Structure 1
Amino acid sequence: MKNKLIVGITMGDPASIGPEITVKALADKSIYDKCNPLVVGDAAVMEEAIKIVGKENEIKINKISNVSDALFQLGTIDVYDMGLVDIAELKRGEVSEMAGNAAFQYVKKVIELAMKNEIDATVTNALNKEAINLAGHHYSGHTEIYAEFTDTKKYTMMLAHENLRVVHVSTHVSLREACDRVKTERVLEVIRIANQACKELGIENPKIGVAGLNPHSGENGMFGREEIDEIIPAINIANEEGINAEGPVPPDTVFSKARGGWYDIVVAMYHDQGHIPLKVVGFVYNQQEQKWDAVAGVNITLGLPIIRTSVDHGTAFDQAGKGIANELSLTNAIDYAVVMAGNR
């Protein structure tokens, strides 16, 4: 076990489903066959999560303050204990300053451990943006926190589910600002990052589909000139560098083509353009049983000096404390972290 890659997993917002799905994921032997998982969070919250999901007879907590003290054994969850949550004050399913601060500090700590090479990859559970800002940490999400604490200037978000992979030119900005950010330099930057990411996933010669911004990719300037003035020049430069990029492909067909195997990855121009098709494929709701059959997909920050993958869903406060949340996205995120860290 000591020779396997160590994967640091943040507990997420203590009031969320994060602790519960972490317990469920780490109850699976296959995780320990692939890596050595280490949870960064609060041991007391994880103890409660074990009870909530009904695993108290199967799993115990190993509370540690040094990575070297981890056991990495199935049936024992190693928790790098931050001691930030007062269990008596914790209200599951609610936004709070205490929970927001804790979630932020878990992320900061897991980054620190990775930057010191004490762990090989990081995986994050969901945090609540309102909660972390309430606690005085003014970030729009994980991606921006990672960028700051790793001193990274060029980065992007990738979403992945099965053979569908999407990277983004912009993410957490208004749609108006997203359109303004479609510039040749940035589009080219993301194409390069996408190409490298595919290689880290073991794809030797990636084929990249670059989405247009406007309907029908602008229809030769009839519906906007961003494709002509900004996107096509970026694709041309990428091709000159030996990158197999194609487009701009109309946004209403590029994802179906990628799903069909035409492309290994898609460069989307803004947040929802990339997120919607991924979640249509990965999130499956069973209307008859009134539950989610699958909440799959992985969120990965590319361009960092460390590996960061994440669940592709939010805190799901409405499910917190009920033991019903689906752990599939977290399991997928751990799998991606192991593959990327191994190839890197």
Structure 2
Amino acid sequence: MGTKTVAVTMGDPAGIGPEIIIKALNEQALAGAPVVVVGCLRTLQRLQEKGITPPVELVAIEQVSDARFAPGTLHIIDEPLAEPDELAPGEVQAQAGDLAYRCVKRATALAMAGDVQAIATAPLNKEALHLAGHLYPGHTELLATLTHSRDYAMVLFTDKLKVIHVSTHIALRKFLDTLNQPRIETVITLADSFLKRVGFAKPRIAVAGVNPHAGENGLFGDEEARFVTPAVEACRERGIQITGPCPPDTVFLQAHEGHYDMVVAMYHDQGHIPLKLLGFYDGVNITAGLPFIRTSADHGTAFDIAWTGKAKPESMSTSIKLAMQLA
């Protein structure tokens, strides 16, 4: 698995994050992996006491260099909840949102200092995050702020389909009102550099249109002519292997079948729906444009099954493995 160390953030402790972290790191493929967990030690202990997760040894460490990785042992950099025994599983609460924020901030500091080479994040709850006074739309924007990254984008990653987004956590109306050529060019450039960074020598990128049938030559909208086509042509002139604008109802299938290495999706659901349909359990969320690798389980906090033992760890496990691989 290599010598690169990954920091795994707990996410919202009232959700399934703590459970899927323990389950993932207890798998044979990750047993003894160079991973430290940034989160509330007491919360993980409560899960163990209730028999919700497999029995593992939880070892608190002050710094990454203190870790002695071995199967059956999880090393925890403790970020304690304000009142850990008062945490209510499956409920939105400020102390949980604050913990999720502090875990990301601590892990980011470790990555920026070079103590870890990648971060894998468990899901947080945006309402709880906001309730705690941390007004970010999600992980992507929070990480960009903490690292002072100006150009960044969300990538959804599976073996057969990879999608990068021009916009994510904004209303569809706002997306249409703020769409512009420079942002599309930025995301295409991020897609090309990201794919090269992870091993694609000559990436093939497709750009989805905004409207049905990519506008049908202006019959269904002019965003393609005004923004998308000029951005594609400008990037092609810079040597990027790019196709588009492509009809959104077919381009994701074409990428899944191997015609393209990545699709540039215009807005959140345009990219999320096909990827989650085809790779819900093994999809990984990556932030392109950060100074380090960041991956995430590609699902939410699942409050309805939190702390019941029902949560599936596949996406968390895949995100940790991919973080190690890319690092």
TM-score normalised by the chain length of structure 1? 0.92
Match of 1:7? 6
- In the TM superposition, what whole-angstrom CA distance separates every residue of 1:174-213 from its partner, at most 9, and x where no partner exists? 1011123321111111001001111122111110010000
- Secondary structure at the aligned position of 2:85 is classed as coil
Residue type matched to 1:11 in 2? M
Looking at structure 1, the residues matched to 53 and 80 of structure 2 have their Cα atoms a distance apart, in angstroms, of: 23
Residue type matched to 1:16 in 2? G
Looking at structure 1, the residues matched to 309 and 191 of structure 2 have their Cα atoms a distance apart, in angstroms, of: 36
Alignment of 1:46-85 (within 5 A): 46-51=44-49, 52-56=51-55, 59-85=56-82
- Secondary structure at the aligned position of 2:319 is classed as helix
Q: Is the 8 A contact 2:209 2:266 kept in 1?
A: yes
- Secondary structure at the aligned position of 2:200 is classed as coil
Kindly state the Cα deviation for residue 132 of structure 1 after the two structures are TM-superposed.
Answer: 1.0
Residue type matched to 2:68 in 1? L
Q: 1:326 aligns with which of 284, 287, 312?
A: 312
1:164 aligns with 2:164: no
Q: Is the 8 A contact 2:229 2:245 kept in 1?
A: yes
Looking at structure 2, the residues matched to 125 and 231 of structure 1 have their Cα atoms a distance apart, in angstroms, of: 34
Q: 2:233 aligns with which of 216, 229, 236?
A: 236
Looking at structure 2, the residues matched to 26 and 50 of structure 1 have their Cα atoms a distance apart, in angstroms, of: 14
**Which runs of no fewer than 5 residues in structure 1 stay unpaired?**
284-294
Instruction: Provide closer, same or farther for how the CA distance between residues 85 and 23 of structure 1 changes in structure 2, counting only shifts above 3 A.
Output: farther
Q: Is the 8 A contact 2:31 2:72 kept in 1?
A: no
Match of 1:335? 321
Looking at structure 2, the residues matched to 222 and 183 of structure 1 have their Cα atoms a distance apart, in angstroms, of: 20
- Secondary structure at the aligned position of 1:254 is classed as helix
Residue type matched to 2:87 in 1? L
More divergent stretch after superposition (144-153 vs 41-50): 41-50
Match of 1:262? 259
- Secondary structure at the aligned position of 2:239 is classed as coil
Match of 1:201? 198
Looking at structure 2, the residues matched to 86 and 65 of structure 1 have their Cα atoms a distance apart, in angstroms, of: 21
Match of 1:87? 84
Alignment of 1:1-344 (within 5 A): 4-32=3-31, 35-51=33-49, 52-56=51-55, 59-283=56-280, 295-341=281-327
- Secondary structure at the aligned position of 1:257 is classed as helix
Alignment length (residue pairs): 326
Instruction: Provide closer, same or farther for how the CA distance between residues 244 and 38 of structure 1 changes in structure 2, counting only shifts above 3 A.
Output: same
Residue type matched to 1:24 in 2? K
**Which runs of no fewer than 5 residues in structure 2 stay unpaired?**
none
The share of aligned pairs that are identical, in percent, is: 47
Looking at structure 2, the residues matched to 46 and 71 of structure 1 have their Cα atoms a distance apart, in angstroms, of: 19
Match of 1:292? none
Q: Is the 8 A contact 1:167 1:265 kept in 2?
A: yes
TM-score normalised by the chain length of structure 2? 0.97
- Secondary structure at the aligned position of 1:88 is classed as helix
Kindly state the Cα deviation for residue 307 of structure 1 after the two structures are TM-superposed.
Answer: 1.2
Looking at structure 2, the residues matched to 70 and 332 of structure 1 have their Cα atoms a distance apart, in angstroms, of: 22
Q: Is the 8 A contact 1:24 1:53 kept in 2?
A: no
Kindly state the Cα deviation for residue 54 of structure 1 after the two structures are TM-superposed.
Answer: 4.3
